[in-house]
Amino acid sequence: MKQWLKDAVFYEIYPQSFYDTNGDGIGDLKGIIEKLDYIKELGCNALWINPCFDSPFKDAGYDVRDYKLIAPRYGTNADAKALFEAAHAKGIHVLLDLVPGHTSEEHAWFKESSKPEKNEYSDRYIWTDSCFSAGDGMPFIGGETDRNGTYILNFFKCQPALNYGYGKCREKWQMPTDAPGPRATVEAVKDVMRFWLDMGCDGFRVDMASSLVKNDTHHKKYTCAIWRDIAAMLDKEYPEAALLSEWNQPRQSLKNGFDMDFMLEWQGNGYSWLMRNYDGAIDSDPHNIGKAYFCADSGTGIDKFLDDWLPSYKATRKDGLYCLITCNHDTIRPSAGLTPDELKIAYAMLFTLPGAPFVYYGDEIGMRYLPLPTKEGGYFRTGSRTPMQWDNSANKGFSTAAADKLYLPVDDAADAPTVAAQQADPDSLWHTVQGVLNFRHSHRDLDSDAPFHVRFAPKAKGSYRPFAWERGKLICAVNPAREEAELPLKLEDGTRVLHVIGKAEVKGDELVLGAQSFAILG
């Protein structure tokens, strides 16, 4: 476990929408540099920046055209270097977003690979051997290139799959993972990683990390082997660099080289249960609002979350961190279904469970999900990608551009939350987030890898919904319901309430926890 991850709290930045310093309507790297003090003050000491590389932006930058060039709209490579340096000077680590599964169809490798003449990049992507062949179950494109073959896609049409080979080869155009083409792809990815690590970044969030090898049916055996190989390179050459996967399978990711994996929102899973639990997450109109555990009136217990999260946590707690997020750029913001009071205690729980927590920019003020037309392949996700709301000046302080020149419209509702307003209000969500994160940083028992045990989690009966957990000598407890609750925690003499949101009181050996309250005892 890398030492810096013990106390790491991440802030995810969608660079398009964070802060625009040159008035062109889109966020930039200089804007991130200017806001580092803000991020630090909030209580975050690490960043994950969504892809900021040269791209035609058909998938918001997840379609990389040049892995080694900062997209001009965000600045220059020199700005990236300046960002790493400024961040480090403030004790902030920076993860970039590595997209190893595919590139843009405009990447120079793909252009070379599309040529009929055999060349260095012919096997960099997965090609069939005829312009009429289907993709053996994978999505494919034909008829677009002079090369007589179809190519396999990894995500959207603009994202051809890089060739890491096949776990099980069924067609003669499929290569085993140890063939020269697939091996060269792995080395090319290592080369990209070295490029940014040498410049000063601290690691990578890895996009679709499980997607590398195709037909990799046996527990992703071959994809896992690639990640072990890459992690071994990092251990040797960059021992402090961190690897974080978009995988949502910690038993695979954390046991095969990743330091961290995410628990992601999938309809009906344990994470969804906490703050969303609605259907329709893919049509920009979430239904069933009010069903989440943290909704005051949902009547649900914590069990569905624990049933999913706990076995994975227990199976991997020695291997790495299974991380909880407030949201991300692919997910509907939690404020769509939770009130600010509900968000306060939901975040407090996420920030005091094991793992390194992730705050998605703007969630600290409860920024809203805005149903908007799609932008850069965002579709329903676009509504979670709007400009950060700094203050009540023009464009909510995001940019000095004319409103119609902005990357996306700002939330112009009269009561749209802003950083400035919430910093001025001691009861705001912003201050609640800051309070819990500060508490976390000053207690080693809340380190990302410090012990965790369930203390009290009765199956939901009627409205009885509180949940309590131990972190070393500390006990944390949450009560999302509208009724006060008595938790029979068998507290030791002298146990005190150290931090509270709402109301909490120790009575004898019990904790009396107010409605919609959270407390840390010790």
- Contact residues toward ligand GLC (CB under 6 A) are 59, 62, 99, 155, 207-208, 246, 329-330
Q: Does residue 261 touch Ca ion according to CB under 5 A?
A: no
Which residues on adjacent β-strands are paired with residue 476? Answer: 469, 520
To ligand GLC, the closest distance from the beta carbon of 119 in angstroms equals: 26
User: In 126-206, which ranges are E strands?
Assistant: 140-141, 151-152, 203-206
Per CB under 5 A, the list member of 1, 4, 7, 22 interacting with Ca ion is 22
Minimum separation from the CB atom of position 207 to ligand GLC (A): 5
Q: Counting every residue, how long is the chain?
A: 522
Task: Please give the Cα distance from 223 to 106 (Å, whole number).
Answer: 25
Closer to ligand GLC by Cβ: residue 123 or 246:
246
156 vs 238 by CB, closer to ligand GLC = 156
- Residue 313: strand, helix, or coil: helix
Q: Is 46 helix (H, G, I), strand (E, B) or coil?
A: strand
Smallest CA-to-CA distance from 205 within 76, 314, 124, 325 is with 325
Structure tokens at 321: 């961190």
Radius of gyration of the chain (CA): 24
Residue 155's binding partner among Ca ion, ligand GLC, none (Cβ under 5 to 8 angstroms by kind) is ligand GLC
Residue 59 interacting partner from ligand GLC, Ca ion, none (CB closer than 5 to 8 Å by kind): ligand GLC
Q: Is position 79 an interface residue for Ca ion (rule: CB under 5 A)? A: no
Residue sitting closest to ligand GLC (CB): 62
Could you say which DSSP state residue 377 is in? Answer: T
Least distance from Ca ion to the Cβ atom of residue 87, Å: 19
Q: CB nearer to ligand GLC: give 59 or 341.
A: 59
Nearer to Ca ion, 71 or 98 (CB): 71
How far is the C-alpha of 113 from the C-alpha of 147, rounded, in Å? 8
Residue 444, both tokens: 């080693």
441, burial (CB in 10 Å: exposed 0-12, middle 13-18, buried 19+): middle
Number of H helices, E strands in the chain: 12, 20
Are 127 and 115 in contact by the 8 Å Cβ rule? The answer is no
Q: In the set 16, 18, 20, 50, which binds Ca ion (CB under 5 A)?
A: 20
Q: Is 184 exposed, middle or buried (0-12, 13-18, 19+ CB in 10 A)?
A: middle
If the CB atoms of residues 330 and 445 are measured against ligand GLC, the closer one turns out to be 330
CB of 69 to ligand GLC, least distance (A): 18
Q: Report, in Å, the least distance between residue 193 CB and ligand GLC.
A: 17
75 vs 165, beta carbon nearer Ca ion: 75
**Which of ligand GLC, Ca ion, none does 208 bind, CB closer than 5 to 8 A by kind?**
ligand GLC
Q: Side chain identity at 423, as an amino acid letter?
A: Q
User: Using CA atoms, how far apart are residues 25 and 21, in angstroms rounded to an integer?
Assistant: 9
Q: Is 363 helix (H, G, I), strand (E, B) or coil?
A: helix
Least distance (Å) from ligand GLC to the CB of residue 15? Answer: 13
**Contact partner at residue 342 from Ca ion, ligand GLC, none, CB < 5 to 8 Å by partner kind:** none
| 28 binding Ca ion? (CB under 5 A) | yes
CB of 158 to ligand GLC, least distance (A): 10
Which of Ca ion, ligand GLC, none lies near 66, with the C-beta cut-off 5 to 8 A by kind?
none
CB of 327 to ligand GLC, least distance (A): 12
Q: Which does 77 bind (CB under 5 to 8 A by kind): ligand GLC, Ca ion, none?
A: none
Q: Which is nearer to ligand GLC, 196 or 469 (CB)?
A: 196
Report the partner that residue 99 touches, choosing among ligand GLC, Ca ion, none (CB closer than 5 to 8 A by kind): ligand GLC
Half-sphere exposure of 351 (CA within 13 A, CB side): 30
Q: Which two tokens stand for residue 36?
A: 């580092």
Please tell me the distance from the alpha carbon of residue 299 to that of residue 401, in angstroms, as a whole number. Answer: 46
The nearest distance, CB 116 to ligand GLC, in angstroms, is 28
Catalog residues that contact Ca ion under the rule CB under 5 A: 20, 22, 24, 26, 28
